[in-house]
Structure 1
């Protein structure tokens, strides 16, 4: 179904012959005034934080849009997004100061409050001092909207042979979710209370360049931050070439949890596996195709109020088809059911959704995953060889499903099996 944004962009592309001009000049400049003439707010028409939510005509032609001043934008085949390389890792435990009484972690619902919690529990200091140097407590500095000033950068274009575009910025509006400073480092943070597939690099790069222009000799640390399923995760990035927008790379991921020791051990998981009912798949419930298990648990929270696949897509900045995949994954686990096109929690789903991220909750989730024959057999085989190997998982799936799924389908679905088992194994630890 075509959205209002898709419809307006189709009209603008047609009216201004945008594709033809990009083919000739590598870009097309459009003003906020020209967009507003279509009776829509320019911010709604130009703010696409994930590549999944780009308008159809942009996706079809490998285009993105970036601001170059406060009232204008360039459209081109810019390499503007970065896939979020999320890994299931055991979170480090931090604690609230004993005198804080207002922030139990499971009630943190906004990005701004999540950043406050990250600072007061010492997460920010641990991230900025992660190289082992003691650089003092970080303080919150610049946040909110500000002008970029003037700067220039190079950005890769999606074309063959590869081209580089020289992009000039003149006082574009920039929004900083979090700015923190200690003795030797400046951190700029983009915060999300979802786990997106990708993010627009501009949200880190423009503030990074603003900080560079301060003339300080402090190291600038661009960080993408997520608060999902009671886990606070910092993705620490750098730019190998400061003047090249496309040179971003991930340095490390650091994850934290407050006051919870997630210490289910592997022996406990083996007991769950051995007592599994080994249920065969129900043909009325699609085999899951949702590769990020932490995102599944976040969506479990979001359907406390029933939602359609389109509503999930809107909340999560991805295509409604993915909303369906993740909703169906919760149905498969017995945590949700689908009624009148909406996903709603079952009694078990409500019970799990109302628990914080804890051993009690995670034990129930593991029981539900391993109650299914495919996941349980794949877990047992993986434990035997002490490795989550896609080949081993696919072999298990071929034995169970025989000719039900094609080879390609099994390859795709095996990634989901591996992801879910990875979540289990990464919280199952022998540490006390």
Structure 2
């Protein structure tokens, strides 16, 4: 969902450039300056160029770019190319084969609510907990480069949207930003960290720093390894994706070669499989009903929504704007999860946390997640399934469907089969909250 001001400014930019269409048809791109865009944006009371050109994922692109298969690339400090460039790569959504757990580092400056850490704090925590040792199968890291800098002067190729043509472009020291570079005796790691879960990302955020080190700093005595570090602060969960560029000169030659997932555990956390099983076996359960039955697989968004609703009530539209999705999807998280488990309520057009929901949301991250897990397993279906998961070590789809049918939810077989994946996602999220 792109900001309306961005759309208006870029529509005006393209309509003001009579040569733009001709240039796009002839060579596939046209040149533009930040000053030119800022002048138009100022007339329309729009944002500055830095915000106008920040498109970290495909969904951030203005409508006029999407409709005409356009993207924007910086080529110098003030000059940009708008053209038919394929700038994004999809992120694999395959399930993790394992999730490692580490205690939150015992450092005074990192103690407190990890949900408020920025990306650099997460990188520091990863270093202190030796996460990257295991993720990279390497050690003895030194943090070297970070921040904004000139990107250097070098040439590269980039594909168009159909991947049947590539453009050869020349950079003239555009400004780039590097979150951090770690160097070991064996390799150099460029880390781009994001506190959002996306299904695609802007390759340039890794490729330009990669070429800066390779072509400008002339590092050729050890491999340069690009890394995308996805952080979910609400769950204290993160994913380290290790990439390779198969062709140093080609922007689109990026390939994921390894993935490592981990969770930080609060030092005072004590929930184990045995304690959770004991709770599940002793708690008095609520009946599980079919109405508003959960259908959202991403518990991290549920936790994020709880944190937002802790601050103030929101309408369905406001929830959608916070998460950049269709208003219909708001129901999946607020009605089909939070209201379903008694943690939120609707008053007129706004949703707010219940007393129980507020109590859970106010806890430190680890305790909050455990309380939410216990709240969920106080419902009979989830109670039976978590017991089965702990005792037998696994659940398959057939087990889940069987339990859902026993519960007599009043759902059709096809709906039960679809909802089984959501149930499994919730159960596996609960399993992440235990220490062993």
Instruction: State TM-score, norm by structure 1.
Output: 0.80
Residue segments in structure 1 that go unaligned for 5+ positions in a row: none
> Residue 292 of structure 1 is aligned with which of 280, 294, 298?
298
Confirm or deny that 1:326 pairs with 2:333: yes
SS of corresponding position for 1:102: helix
Cα distance in 1 for partners of 2:417, 2:64 equals: 30
Q: Does 1:52 align with 2:59?
A: yes
Larger deviation, residues 360-369 vs 208-217: 360-369
What per-residue deviation string (whole Å, max 9, x for no partner) do you get for residues 211-262 of structure 1?
Answer: 1122221222322222512334433322233333222314122324154467
Corresponding residue to 2:287 among 262, 278, 281:
278
| Mapped pair 1:146 → 2:149 | yes
Which residue of structure 2 aligns with residue 42 of structure 1? 49
How many Å apart are 1:47 and its aligned residue? Answer: 0.3
Residue among 238, 246, 271 paired with 2:244:
238
Partner in structure 2 of residue 369 of structure 1? 376
Could you tell me how far 1:104 is from its partner in structure 2? Answer: 1.7
Query: In 2 relative to 1, CA 13–357 (structure 1 residues): closer, same or farther, beyond 3 Å?
Result: same
Deviation at 1:32, TM superposition (A): 1.8
Aligned residue runs from structure 1 range 204-223, under 5 A: 204-213=206-215, 214-216=217-219, 217-223=221-227
Residue matched to 1:180: 182
State the partner residue of 1:12. Answer: 13
Please state whether the residue corresponding to 1:344 is helix, strand or coil.
Answer: strand
User: Matched residue of 1:38: which SS?
Assistant: helix
Contact 1:337 1:346 in 2 (8 A): yes
Contact kept in structure 2, 1:388 and 1:422, CA below 8 Å: no
Matches within 5 A, 1:87-236: 87=95, 89-97=98-106, 100-107=107-114, 108-127=116-135, 130-131=136-137, 133=138, 135-136=139-140, 138-159=141-162, 162-213=164-215, 214-216=217-219, 217-225=221-229, 226-228=231-233, 229-236=235-242
Distance 1:51 1:361, change over 3 A: same
Q: Is the 8 A contact 1:84 1:196 kept in 2?
A: no
Moved more, 198-207 or 61-70: 61-70
CA–CA separation in structure 1 for the residues paired with 2:92 and 2:347: 32
Shift of 1:103: 2.5
For 1:61 and 1:325, the matched residues in 2 are separated by 32
1:174 is displaced (CA, Å) by 0.7
* CA apart distance, 1:393: 4.7
Deviation at 1:86, TM superposition (A): 7.5
Closer/same/farther in 2, CA of residues 126 and 249 from structure 1, 3 Å limit: closer
Inter-partner Cα distance in structure 2 for 1:276 and 1:20: 68
The 1-side partners of 2:156 and 2:395 are apart by 42
Number of matched pairs? 417
Question: What is the DSSP-based 3-state SS (H/G/I as helix, E as strand, rest coil) of the residue aligned with 2:108?
Answer: coil
Give the match's secondary structure for 2:110: coil
Structure 2 CA distance for partners of 1:327 and 1:165, relative to 1, 3 Å: farther
TM-score (norm 2): 0.79
Moved more, 270-279 or 214-223: 270-279
Q: Which segments of 5 or more consecutive residues in structure 2 lack a partner in the other structure?
A: none
Q: CA deviation at 1:210?
A: 1.0
Q: Is the 8 A contact 1:279 1:371 kept in 2?
A: no
Q: Provide closer, same or farther for how the CA distance between residues 323 and 351 of structure 1 changes in structure 2, counting only shifts above 3 A.
A: same
Q: How many Å separate the matches in 2 of 1:321 and 1:199?
A: 24
